[in-house]
Amino acid sequence: MKHTRAFRLETCARPNILSLQPYRCARDDYKDDGTNILLDANENAYGPSLDVQGNLHPDASNLNGAIDPNKLEVDLLGLNRYPDPHQTELKHHLCKLRNLHTHTTKDLSPEHLFVGVGSDEVIDALLRCFCTPSHDKILTCPPTYGMYAVSAQVNDVEIVKVPLDPARGFQLQPEAINAALSSDPSIKLVYVTSPGNPTANLLSKSDIQKLLEHPTWNGVVVLDEAYIDFSRDGASLAEWVTEWPNLVVMQTLSKAFGLAGIRLGAAFTSPEVARLLNNLKAPYNISSPTSALAISALQPNNVAVMRANRLKIMEQRQRLLHELPKISRIGRFLGGTDSNFLLVEILDKPRIHGGRPSNKSAMALYEGLAETRGVVVRFRGKEMSCEGCLRITVGTSKEVDRLLEETRSILEGEKGIDLGTDKGDGRTKEEEEVKEQDANGVIA
């Protein structure tokens, strides 16, 4: 490699980028190698919401040419052309899905939408649209999704934190949030998540309204509804953006629709905000295959598949709520049950002996399941008010069988892992802290 006297990476690159820690995702630690049971990334265990048995056409004549949205087709011969930069048809189907008139009589239209490469592009686009680097701030409510902080650091935007209230089931503290907004006009965005991640609970609509009604704050409330289809019908506030010009509602096809691999996220908002987001995006950010698969997933027959899979997940969620507490050293479920995952405490000793939530115990179970039993869950003990917690994605019936079996074996078996507070794997307190921080640092 040739060297120049002038070039110095450490002074040429932006300081906030130089200080970034590598993005760590769910597959960095434990791979999808066909042997592991992956209950760590809140993916849909029942697969894509596509009626592939009835509508997959593998022969070339059906894979090329005009697209029939009622069939799963991709125009392979059209891949030499750039995709539709506006994605109007896709936006129309997203609006049709959410125009339920539960919260308003008004209708969503494609003008209310921005679509991106997953919700992550939406999060980043909002920061670039509203926040001046090194000047403006965002407000988040921990424990929450880690990507808000990652995008804020990339964009050199400071974060103000007002925690959720664990005493109220991890609900918002609207008075405290509004006080922060009143005292600091440089806060431009408030990111809140409903259902929460990792807390799995719906936020109170009235609490969200209190933020929207702030009398002096000039900013935008961003409501992340990635898991909304696992909660009760009509819970989505997407159509509410027709009433509130300062509201953005983010959604994704990665979760309930089981299409994490196509990377499709959406922001419902006012036409004015949507126009700004569409103006700043790359011209062809949604690929033709992604668009075709998303449009197919939003057809009535495939929405029916999504809802059928959702029912299966809800059945297994209820089963976990019933069966996990029967295992020694399983503590309380924290948060809610409005998603495809649960947040549960792991205790340092059995409940009947006064067991308390323990990060060391949770880490031992987390590592024992993943490294010796092939079952991967997510450690969340370093999140605010989540001491000793694991987040467990709801799997299929067979996956839940295995999770329960292996958890019971580790926590109650004669050869189980020592989960005590004074004995274990020989790590120092400093080493244990590093290990916990590393496991908790995965963005998922």
**pLDDT attached to residue 419:** 58
Tell how far CA 208 is from the center of its chain: 19
Tell me which of 57-71, 101-115, 341-355 is least confident.
Answer: 57-71
pLDDT digits (tens, 9 = 90+) for 312-336: 999 999 999 999 999 999 999 999 9
- Does pLDDT of 57 surpass 50? no
CA angle 53, 306, 225 (to 5 degrees): 150
Distance between CA 155 and CA 127 in Å, rounded? 7
Distance between CA 364 and CA 377 in Å, rounded? 12
**pLDDT attached to residue 35:** 83
- Does pLDDT of 155 surpass 60? yes
Distance between CA 183 and CA 187 in Å, rounded? 9
Which candidate, 133, 85, 83, 98, places its Cα nearest to that of 278? 85
**pLDDT attached to residue 72:** 65
Bridge pairing between strands 137-140 and 187-193: parallel
pLDDT digits (tens, 9 = 90+) for 397-439: 999 999 999 999 999 975 545 555 444 556 677 767 777 777 7
**pLDDT attached to residue 58:** 36
Which candidate, 382, 392, 395, places its Cα nearest to that of 432? 382
Tell how far CA 28 is from the center of its chain: 17
Q: pTM (2 decimals)?
A: 0.91
In the chain, the amino acid numbered 338 is D
* DSSP string for residues in 349-382: S-GGGT--B-HHHHHHHHHHHHHHS-EE-EE-TT
- Does pLDDT of 21 surpass 90? no
% of the chain residues with pLDDT over 70: 90
Distance between CA 249 and CA 84 in Å, rounded? 23
377 C-beta neighbours (distance < 10 Å), count: 24
pLDDT digits (tens, 9 = 90+) for 217-276: 999 999 999 999 999 999 999 999 999 999 999 999 999 999 999 999 999 999 999 999
Tokens (6 digits) for 397: 């019936």
133 contacts: CB under 8 Å, gap ≥ 6: 155, 156, 157
Task: Tell me the pLDDT of the chain averaged across its residues.
Answer: 91
The answer to whether 340 and 317 have CB atoms below 8 angstroms apart is yes
Residue with the bigger pLDDT between 194 and 441: it is: 194
58 contacts: CB under 8 Å, gap ≥ 6: none
**pLDDT attached to residue 24:** 73
- Give the confidence band of 53 by pLDDT, cuts at 50, 70, 90: low
pLDDT digits (tens, 9 = 90+) for 100-129: 999 999 999 999 999 999 999 999 999 999
